[in-house]
């Protein structure tokens, strides 16, 4: 158990971590803001934004979480490696579960073609947003179907939990020396880095949620609400992870590895493919825009991490 439990009001600590998770959640709503000034976003900017988010997540995972985990490890980093593997497994299992959950109301399974199940195939060319349509069904948002939205929120809990975990784990050393004073608390630099990283990552997520809603003429503020709704579980995941790593401090390398593994897998298995699908019609297939975005994201985060 860390020393700060003796020196800091636990309620204040948990409230602060929840607030950090809430910031990442609200950042998702920024993805809908472009539609307040334009009718559509270019593929070039969409790919670049995914690239920036990927670069930020990669830098935060490798230079932040994994570096901190190694610093707390003596001998072979077995616990850290197990954590990385567990984080990857969680995301793989979560995606497998989500693939089999029908939140769109079309009544077809993951393996059944949509047209044979009577689903609407008019949006088959939606590109990289298809995966996100599964999580926040545009029709449910447009119609205000509370029952379906409640189901979707349950699905989102599985989808967003690893990101909330990354935030919560990074606050493990809240109150200890070496942090940045914020609102009377000593906040670890890693926690600031991870909050920024997840917040920026959530912006293209919010954009992906908003694009199909825009096509259905959903109001701008409802698009913002739907985007924020898609990340609601993150503050809760942050608090749960924070409680675990502060209660079992000796397992902190596992927590760092877990968060890093989940984030790295998300970047490689979801962000990069989504970006390249969005840029499929660009010259060079969008690889240039993606690479520049990744480099930009890394350049943003490295000074913060090594400050």
Residue 79: helix, strand or coil by DSSP? Answer: helix
**213-to-139, 141, 157, 216, 274 alpha-carbon distances in Å:** 8, 8, 21, 5, 18
Q: How far apart are the C-alpha atoms of 307 and 305, rounded to whole Å?
A: 6
Q: How far apart are the C-alpha atoms of 179 and 185, rounded to whole Å?
A: 9
What are the tens digits of pLDDT across the range 141-172?
666 666 666 666 666 666 677 788 889 999 98
- Confidence grade of residue 291 (pLDDT, cut at 50, 70, 90): very high
Residue bearing the bigger pLDDT, 231 or 177: 231
In terms of C-beta distances under 8 Å and separation of at least 24 residues, what long-range contacts does 212-219 make, across chains too? Answer: 212/123, 212/126, 212/129, 212/132, 212/133, 212/138, 213/138, 213/141, 213/142, 214/35, 214/39, 214/40, 215/123, 215/138, 216/138, 216/139, 216/142, 218/138, 218/141, 218/142
- How confident is the model over 107-115, as a mean pLDDT? 41
Q: Provide the pLDDT for residue 214.
A: 78
Q: Provide the pLDDT for residue 41.
A: 74
Q: How far apart are the C-alpha atoms of 245 and 251, rounded to whole Å?
A: 7
Q: Give the mean pLDDT of the chain.
A: 78
- CB contact at 8 A, 301 and 60: yes
Segment holding 182, helix H or strand E = strand 180-182
Q: Provide the pLDDT for residue 108.
A: 41
- CB contact at 8 A, 188 and 178: yes
Residue bearing the bigger pLDDT, 129 or 280: 280
Q: Provide the pLDDT for residue 1.
A: 40
Distance of CA 77 to the CA centre of its chain: 26
164: tokens are 């909330």
Count other C-beta atoms under 10 Å from residue 275's C-beta: 28
Q: How far apart are the C-alpha atoms of 225 and 228, rounded to whole Å?
A: 5
- Confidence grade of residue 173 (pLDDT, cut at 50, 70, 90): confident
Question: What dihedral angle (degrees, nearest 10) is formed by the CA atoms of 178, 179, 182, 185?
Answer: -70
Q: Provide the pLDDT for residue 72.
A: 84
Tell me the H-state helices in 248-286.
252-266, 272-278
Q: How far apart are the C-alpha atoms of 210 and 192, rounded to whole Å?
A: 27
Q: How far apart are the C-alpha atoms of 181 and 225, rounded to whole Å?
A: 32
Residue bearing the bigger pLDDT, 221 or 124: 221
What residues pair up with 181 in beta bridges, in sequence order? 186
- How confident is the model over 262-279, as a mean pLDDT? 88
- Confidence grade of residue 2 (pLDDT, cut at 50, 70, 90): very low
Is pLDDT above 90 for 81? yes
Count other C-beta atoms under 10 Å from residue 288's C-beta: 16
63: tokens are 């230079």
Residue 185: helix, strand or coil by DSSP? Answer: strand
Mean pLDDT comparison of 120-124, 208-212, 229-233, highest-scoring range: 229-233
What residues pair up with 186 in beta bridges, in sequence order? 181
Residue in the block written with tokens 């047209």: 115
Residue in the block written with tokens 């930009």: 296
Q: Provide the pLDDT for residue 18.
A: 94
């Amino acid at each position: 158990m860390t020393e700060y439990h003796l020196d800091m009001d636990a309620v204040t600590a948990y409230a602060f971590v929840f607030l950090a998770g809430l910031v990442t959640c609200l950042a998702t709503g920024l993805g809908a803001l472009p539609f307040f000034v334009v009718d559509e976003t270019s593929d070039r900017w969409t790919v670049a934004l995914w690239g920036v988010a990927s670069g930020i997540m990669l830098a935060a995972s490798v230079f932040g979480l994994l570096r901190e985990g190694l610093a707390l490890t003596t001998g072979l980093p077995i616990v850290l490696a197990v954590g990385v593997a567990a984080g990857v497994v969680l995301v793989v299992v979560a995606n497998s579960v989500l693939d089999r959950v029908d939140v769109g109301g079309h009544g077809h399974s993951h393996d059944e073609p949509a047209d044979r199940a009577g689903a609407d195939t008019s949006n088959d060319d939606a590109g990289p947003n298809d995966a996100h349509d599964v999580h926040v069904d545009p029709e449910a948002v447009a119609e205000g179907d509370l029952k379906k939205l409640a189901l979707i929120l349950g699905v989102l809990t599985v989808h967003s939990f690893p990101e909330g975990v990354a935030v919560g784990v990074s606050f493990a050393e809240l109150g200890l020396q070496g942090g940045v004073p914020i609102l009377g608390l000593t906040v670890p630099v890693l926690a600031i880095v991870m909050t920024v990283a997840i917040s920026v990552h959530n912006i293209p997520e919010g954009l992906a949620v908003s694009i199909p809603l825009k096509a259905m003429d959903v109001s701008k503020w409802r698009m913002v609400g739907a985007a924020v709704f898609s990340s609601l579980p993150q503050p809760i995941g942050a608090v749960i992870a924070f409680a675990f790593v502060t209660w079992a401090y000796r397992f902190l390398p596992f927590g760092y590895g877990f968060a890093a593994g989940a984030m790295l897998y998300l970047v490689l298995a979801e962000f990069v493919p989504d970006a390249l699908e969005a840029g499929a019609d660009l010259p060079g297939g969008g690889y240039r825009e993606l690479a520049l975005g990744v480099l930009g994201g890394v350049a943003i985060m490295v000074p913060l991490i090594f400050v």
